[in-house]
Chains A and B, each alone.
Chain A
């Protein structure tokens, strides 16, 4: 990977003094992942360019035995065949910090005044992975006084129909102090790349604040920069943003600095579709509607089938009338998230005993789920291939047979009200289908008849006179509740 730094300040060769690298020599430095070379393709009075070339040794990057012990999730081919030798990344930042240490601090023994002076600079990074598109490069470098040219690189010239790759050829021009320029690059190249090559430890907060001194606190994209720089570790990002807020002179509302919106928060199968603009509000309203229906049913022992990260579980646990709350999900990862959200390991025993989290799949009968008062299938059915629905129907309505079942699912008719959701597209990439109101009603009717339930259907969210509400809710009540109770008491 390559970065070049050009100045036209006269004499341009003073750049060598600022960087403490002689323009007429080629210098190499050992790095944990290979070597860095500094050399000057041009160096005269009018124009001088320093090039930092990082030569990655693939054997030192990821292929080692140590990585093989990693979890299966991270165990992918991408670990071995990747763009790291070519694209600018945190590896380049590390090299920058090592090779241009004093320049980064703004120190210069030979040219102290020049180090403190803004000089005309041009930076080129021929390959930078820019997660979020070329536009983001403009948004992060632009406010810092750079003119930004980010040219997308085509994915494969042999297949023009594939369009652009995620990489840009980046050129920055501006008149800045060299130290500022280097600090911008040090922080922002990995931010645009958004994939750190090393484990982000708490001391990264200090590194970020040091490198960001004087420019990050007021940067309009400081939230994104902080989150990405700290590899989306929420706790770290929160700390950093709080400390940035103290540094800030202006008194803005803190909404911008929310640490929400990092990687998926693990709402799992129950996650709200990304296309729903008032996302939180519909998810909350859905939860409220289900809770209301649950309370109305008089249920005290309840199942949340496909509980995902446990958003509904938390609400159920908060209500003492629910004496037993069971969350099931097919993803053990989702259950781990749910356990964390509910702080299961820290709850007092009596509270803990009300809650169970089980891995279960709705296409299999599960004896543990029998005999509950109510079950919730919130935004779950649409994640199943239609041919698998009969298995779910048998497992839930035929085998588990809760007294009441709440089912919510999107109303596909409403999709036309979502801007940016193309015709025929679903609200979530994993949705296998989305039903019209008539289709949902027909399914509910068939299930109710087959398994002995009565059903009522309503909508959740703002009702649109033409296309209905965004979410559909069915409450199915078993017609044999009486006999079942009798059996239990017998």
Chain B
């Protein structure tokens, strides 16, 4: 039995004449979806598998599909004769373009067998001479395959060998997903043995020394594994010492190591190539000169055996000396190796004559954490889930390690500047490199997966959101969350009411919640307050509306923030919550402070027209009645209308307060959404409201408390009391209440699905400004009760789930593009057309 070793991800080209049994072989060993057959593609593009004139188009299509499969990391088998160099060159090119290994499997059967099989097939009409030519091509192919670029060439000779062959998949060298750590990933050492020893000790390793007292291994009591990102050698005082220790750790299974460009260059020198002794190689060579030949030989073998990058911990961690872009993770090709060793350069050189490196990390959007070295910086910095650990120890900086999965940095300072840098160590840029977003992060039809579900954002919604986001919204770094839309309670059937608490409670009972909090619905505008103790990563913070616009703009937003900051400080929340920033969900009162224009344009205008028209109508009707005309019924209706317009006017006037700047403005916080490293979505509303109360106590003149009732839904008396409370709130013109699951924002049903975070139950009088002055009329109310809430509820939940994910992303300090993607999606959901009265 012949065993064919094939990499798990490869492009497998079957090579053989017509009738050699390629399709049969492919069927036996691979899934149908893995096999791309030239016959099938000819049929696909020309309705005829034997139409040779369609071959060009058929192969174009085949190469395209093969390319897509390889990009997606799928093993792909090409079932075609592949007898001519140009045909194989096309496949090699596709494999190279996606950095997978091309493999050839040659099926070589005697020509007579092939001819017999050909003749037995009705759809093969070519003559014997064609087969003979193929056979000649096959003979000539043998010697060429490896040279053409096939990394493995398997030849199966004769029917029996083909029949008996088995496939065995082999992992790529870089695939160490089974290693789950925990790891201590160490930055560029450059011969700084002393600092490396100190760092390993600091990390908790015990050093093992040889008879000469030289460290040859280090062991962590908790079984942690050290990972070296390369550049162990050159420039520093003791490259052999570093090599001895690392080689010992790797040999003992206590460390793994990827090579750096300096190891690569050293290897070439050790192999006798003509390499210039620059960039510290001279020092290494001098140090190695006093080592025995056996050590030099060991070093050569060690470096030669290093794999340019590793994929670790189930694919969640990638280590490469100069970093690695996502498309190259777990791939194998010359350019992948080159990227891992040297990074990507722009082809330019800087003023110090050093190559300008392309900031690949800025574009990185992968989910795997990439840890690397290579580029010395004063402080390691997270950029889109990647981090460079080279802190220039040999240049007098420090030697840094990253504890994984803890994401903790541990460093020891350099003993001295061992080597003068060619250019000063500066941070990559004044601004964080990941503050720049790409249009591709947000536009087009997008599928989003997050911890609370998945979602597809239609392209047109994203397009609409793009306009709002880029023209009106805050900068993405400070726009960390947007409030989800809120569905009203199911439509009430209580006489004269469209919305009633009974229905809100019934909705939550049905969803499986047993305890709710009823919060007064403030008559203001939603305001999200991000407040920082002192200007830092959020430049002090921001106040924004439900669509992400700065609330008032400067300077009022700054003054407002200052008041919130003072109250948080006075309430002692910074220390208590262990944070230097807080994200608060609030309502800003009165509504006219922000929506004065809307109230005047939209609501007051209607009132003015009604209040002027109806008295004139009534006067006319009264005069007609005076003449004995039968207008009684009409007059009655018009009098009702007049009363409704008065009630409507009272409803909007309740939202008007006289304000001047912040004078007359108050803020009603009702949830504390997040602080440094934490989302408070798991805290119950008792906790949230207690903190809100403390802010009110700290700044009673600026903060408005939120009145509420906690209701056990099984307790009929409590339900009745809450209903009465709502009736009294709303009779006085109040907007109503929001009912929320007491357990908090992330409350779930007994079945485990997210509950609506809140259901609004709006007052009968208030709804006049939503549904029209006369909506309570029996005819109208009956029509309005047919309203459908499904879409609104669906959106509310979708946006809520995105919001929870955004809070988590904020707490985890996820890359900006990810945080923004979630917030952007909430805004995109908002451009979905729904009945604005809901």
Contact = CB atoms under 8 A, between A and B. Distances in A.
- Asked whether A and B interact, the reply is yes
A4 B441 CA distance: 62
A127 interface: yes
B831 interface: yes
Contact of B609 (A4, A87, A487): A87
A250 interface: no
A26 B624 contact: yes
Contacts of B440: 367
Interface residues of A, number: 72
Contacts of A101: none
Interface residues of B, number: 71
B600 interface: yes
B528 interface: no
B344 to A, nearest CB: 14
Contacts of B656: 159
A2 B469 contact: no
A156 B648 CA distance: 13
A413 interface: no
Contact of B608 (A72, A165, A359): A165
A163 to B, nearest CB: 9
A32 interface: no
A156 B431 contact: no
Contact of A330 (B467, B608, B622, B769): B467
A364 B470 contact: yes
28 contacts: A2-B616, A24-B627, A26-B630, A26-B631, A41-B621, A42-B627, A51-B624, A58-B780, A63-B783, A72-B831, A77-B602, A77-B837, A80-B770, A81-B603, A81-B770, A81-B771, A83-B609, A83-B610, A153-B609, A156-B649, A165-B604, A360-B439, A364-B437, A364-B442, A367-B440, A387-B474, A388-B470, A483-B348
B475 interface: yes
Nearest to B363: A365
Contact of A361 (B460, B466, B600, B608): B466
B653 A156 contact: yes
A1 interface: yes
Given A332-B463, A365-B439, 15 more contacts: A24-B629, A25-B629, A40-B629, A41-B620, A41-B623, A41-B627, A77-B836, A87-B613, A155-B605, A162-B600, A165-B605, A165-B609, A332-B464, A361-B467, A399-B436
Given A86-B613, A360-B439, A365-B438, A167 B608 contact: yes
Contacts of A156: 604, 607-608, 649, 653
B471 A383 contact: yes
B750 interface: no
A189 B439 CA distance: 49
Given A53-B617, A83-B605, A129-B609, A364 B438 contact: yes
A139 B401 CA distance: 81
Contact of B475 (A167, A331, A388, A490): A388
B605 to A, nearest CB: 6
Contacts of B45: none
Interface in B810-838: 831, 833, 835-837
Interface string A115-154: 0000000000011010000000000000000000000011
A2 B467 contact: no
B445 to A, nearest CB: 13
A422 interface: no
Contact of A76 (B605, B616, B836): B836
Interface of A: 1-2, 4, 24-26, 37, 39-43, 51, 53, 55, 58-59, 63, 68, 71-72, 75-78, 80-83, 85-87, 126-127, 129, 153-156, 158-159, 162, 165-167, 169, 330-332, 359-367, 383-385, 387-388, 390-391, 394-395, 398-399, 483, 487, 490
Contacts of B439: 360-361, 364-367
B772 interface: yes
List 6 A-B pairs, minimum CB-CB distance, nearest first.
A41-B623, A361-B470, A126-B616, A86-B613, A86-B609, A83-B609
B301 interface: no
B353 interface: no
B613 A359 contact: no
A86 B464 CA distance: 35
A385 B544 CA distance: 14
Contacts of B469: 361
A14 to B, nearest CB: 17
B627 A363 contact: no
B649 A81 contact: no
Contact of A80 (B348, B607, B772): B772
A25 B656 CA distance: 45
B343 to A, nearest CB: 18
Contacts of A390: 431
Contacts of B118: none
A367 B438 contact: yes
B612 A26 contact: no
A43 B620 CA distance: 12
Nearest to B645: A86
Nearest to A37: B634
A365 B436 contact: yes
B641 A80 contact: no
Interface of B: 347-348, 431, 436-443, 460, 463-464, 466-467, 469-471, 474-475, 550, 600, 602-610, 612-614, 616-617, 619-624, 626-627, 629-631, 634, 637-638, 641, 645, 649, 653, 656, 769-775, 779-780, 783, 831, 833, 835-837
Interface centre among A25, A39, A490 (most CB of B within 10 A): A39
Contacts of A80: 770-772, 837
Contacts of B609: 83, 86-87, 127, 129, 153, 165, 167
B620 A4 contact: yes
Contact of B610 (A85, A169, A366, A487): A85
B624 to A, nearest CB: 5
A55 B637 contact: yes
A467 to B, nearest CB: 26
B771 A169 contact: no
Contacts of A365: 436-439
A165 to B, nearest CB: 4
Contacts of B627: 24, 40-43
Nearest to A385: B550
A86 to B, nearest CB: 4
A330 B466 CA distance: 7
Nearest to B605: A165
A48 to B, nearest CB: 11
Contacts of B831: 72
Contacts of B775: 58
Contacts of A388: 470, 475
A395 B439 CA distance: 10
Nearest to B614: A86
B608 A59 contact: no
Given A153-B612, A155-B608, A366-B438, A72 B624 contact: no
Interface centre among A4, A41, A75, A387 (most CB of B within 10 A): A41
A360 B469 CA distance: 12
B475 A387 contact: yes
B616 A154 contact: no
A32 B467 CA distance: 38
Contacts of A362: 470
A126 B615 CA distance: 10
B836 A82 contact: no
A387 B538 CA distance: 12
A155 to B, nearest CB: 5
Nearest to A384: B471
B613 A363 contact: no
Contacts of B613: 1-2, 85-87, 126-127
Nearest to A165: B608
A2 B641 CA distance: 14
Contacts of B605: 83, 155, 165-167
Given A85-B641, A394-B436, A330 B431 contact: no
A487 B624 contact: no
B783 A59 contact: yes
Contacts of B443: 359
